[in-house]
Copies of this chain bind each other. A is one copy, B any other.
Amino acid sequence: MDDRVQTLTQLTTPAVVIDLGKVERNIRRHQDYADRHGLKLRPHIKTHKLPQIAAMQLRGGAIGVTCQKVSEAEAMVAGTPEIKDVLITYNILGAEKLDRLAALAKKVKLSAVADNETVVAGLSQRFATEPAPLSVLVECDTGAHRCGVATPEDAAALAQVIAESPGLVFGGLMTYPPPDGAATVQSFMTRAKALIEAKGIAVPVITSGGTPSMAKAGDAPVTTEYRAGTYVYNDRSLVARGACGWDDCALTVLATVVSVPSANRAIIDAGSKTLTSDLLGLPDYGHVLGRDDIRIDQLSEEHGRLVSDGPIGLEVGDKIRIVPNHVCVVSNMVDQVYVTAADEANAAGKKWDVWPVVARGRIT
């Protein structure tokens, strides 16, 4: 793999290409929104997994970053002196992960979450002998029905357990709401906050998240902090929701047509190993820029099938650019991405750099 600067037309495909001009614009727009609504922004690094872009987000005004797994946080902190404050929004279990968490807590201001007493007990046991306590937030289920305590009463009870646990301090409340869940976030968190404060325990942070909900984050003013990831690149799912336009999509997959077996079908060299099978409710596997008539109706691991009701109008060797359905998972498929510092990424002769995706594949 050539790691020198290349022009777009020279890139070996499939290639994930990122327009840093659009990234900058997306960061600014969402930071402005957060600032206007008095929300601190704590971007989720899962979308890019790149220290360089985390640093851009922090320079833009973010107060820290969100990671989902300990190993993600390790990779990001190792590569980014700008990262000084990390929230890991995950129930962390097991001696090996707890040791790594303790090591990480010596390098940055670190917080984690819990939605059950088993996780709290493990964190407490590990951090009781550490020089500084770990901040632990209670994860609340505000309708996504994934993790989280089910009621404000349960949240208050677990907050008290945390506050009374050696080695821990209660850090606040965290939720990952369903899209358009602002009203539920507001009512759940307002009630939980009151119950916890009634116990004499302060609630320093109430953090919500998700790019799809962010435009309505102001409707949950009890929230103090917001975690969004996808906004930094945007993707087809967000275009479909009306959250942005194609021109706001900073990450595209460059692919080459390798076969045109019939008049209305073409095959490209990007399959599920690049685009993934994530549909996110969409009818097919990605949007071909400039070709609204084309559907990517089938992926195998290394092939994508493009079909059109009319002539496909592509020749073997042609290059196309695809906006993926779900951009975060695409970042996880590749060892490196190609970036340009300027907008207009598809201009002829534009020069590119190569960045390794250092937090890719960090699942533990």
Assembled-state Cα–Cα distance A209/B19 (Å): 40
Chain B: minimal CB distance from A58 (Å): 22
Confirm or deny: A310 has a beta carbon within 8 angstroms of a beta carbon on chain B.
no
Verify if A187 is at the interface (C-beta below 8 Å from B): no
Which chain B residues border A129 with CB–CB below 8 Å? none
* A150 proximal to B (CB < 8 A): yes
CB–CB A14/B363 < 8 A: yes
Closest B residue by C-beta to A69:
B302
For A274, the chain B residues whose CB sits under 8 A away are 363
What is the distance, in angstroms, from A45's C-beta to the closest C-beta of chain B?
Answer: 12
Question: Known: A118-B316, A261-B148, A272-B278. Is A301-B332 also a contact (CB below 8 A)?
Answer: yes
Which residues of the partner chain B approach A2 to less than 8 Å between Cβ atoms?
Answer: 96
Look across to chain B and name the residue whose beta carbon is closest to the beta carbon of A274: B363
Task: Determine how close the nearest CB of chain B comes to the CB of A359; give it in whole angstroms.
Answer: 11
Question: Are the CB atoms of B317 and A262 closer together than 8 Å?
Answer: no
How far is it, in angstroms, between the C-alpha of A59 and the C-alpha of B286 when the chains are bound? 42
Q: Which residues of B contact A328 (CB under 8 A)?
A: 301
A interface bracket (residues with beta carbon within 8 Å of B) = 35 or more
Checking B12, B119, B277, B361 against A316 with a beta-carbon cut-off of 8 angstroms, the contacting residue is B119
Please report which residues of chain A, range 284-299, place their CB below 8 angstroms from some CB of chain B when the two chains form the complex. 298
Q: Do B317 and A333 touch across chains, with their CB atoms under 8 A apart?
A: no
Asked if A146 is at the interface of the complex by the 8 Å CB criterion, the answer is yes
- The closest CB in chain B to the CB of A114 belongs to B259
**A305 pairs with B273, CB closer than 8 A:** no
Give CA–CA (A93, B303) in the complex, Å.
14
A325: nearest residue on chain B (CB-CB)?
Answer: B277
Given A274-B363, A332-B273: A261 in contact with B147 (beta carbons within 8 A): yes
- Quote the shortest CB–CB distance from A339 to chain B (angstroms): 18
With A118-B317, A258-B119 in contact, do A90 and B276 touch (Cβ < 8 Å)?
no
Residue of B nearest to A362 (CB): B273
A328 vs B259: C-alpha distance when bound (angstroms):
24
Collect the chain B residues with CB atoms within 8 Å of residue A315's CB.
Answer: 118
Contacts of A71 in B (CB 8 A): 1
Whether a CB of chain B sits under 8 angstroms from the CB of A106 is no
Whether B303 and A261, one on each chain, are in contact in the complex, defined by CB atoms closer than 8 angstroms, is no
A234 in the interface, Cβ–Cβ < 8 Å? no
Give residues of chain A (103-121) contacting chain B, Cβ–Cβ below 8 Å: 115-116, 118-119
Contacting residues, chain B, for A118 (C-beta < 8 A)? 315-317
In the complex formed, the residue of B with least CB distance to A139 is: B259
A334 proximity list for chain B (CB < 8 A): 361, 363
The answer for the CA separation of A305 and B144 in the assembled complex, in Å, is 11
Docked complex Cα distance between A273 and B277 (Å): 11
Please state if B146 and A300 are interface contacts (CB–CB under 8 Å): yes
Residues of B within 8 A of A258 (CB): 90-91, 93, 119, 147
Which residues of chain B come closer than 8 Å to A317, judged between CB atoms?
93, 118
The 10 closest A-B CB pairs, nearest first, are A118-B316, A91-B258, A277-B277, A147-B259, A68-B302, A277-B278, A12-B364, A12-B96, A147-B267, A273-B363
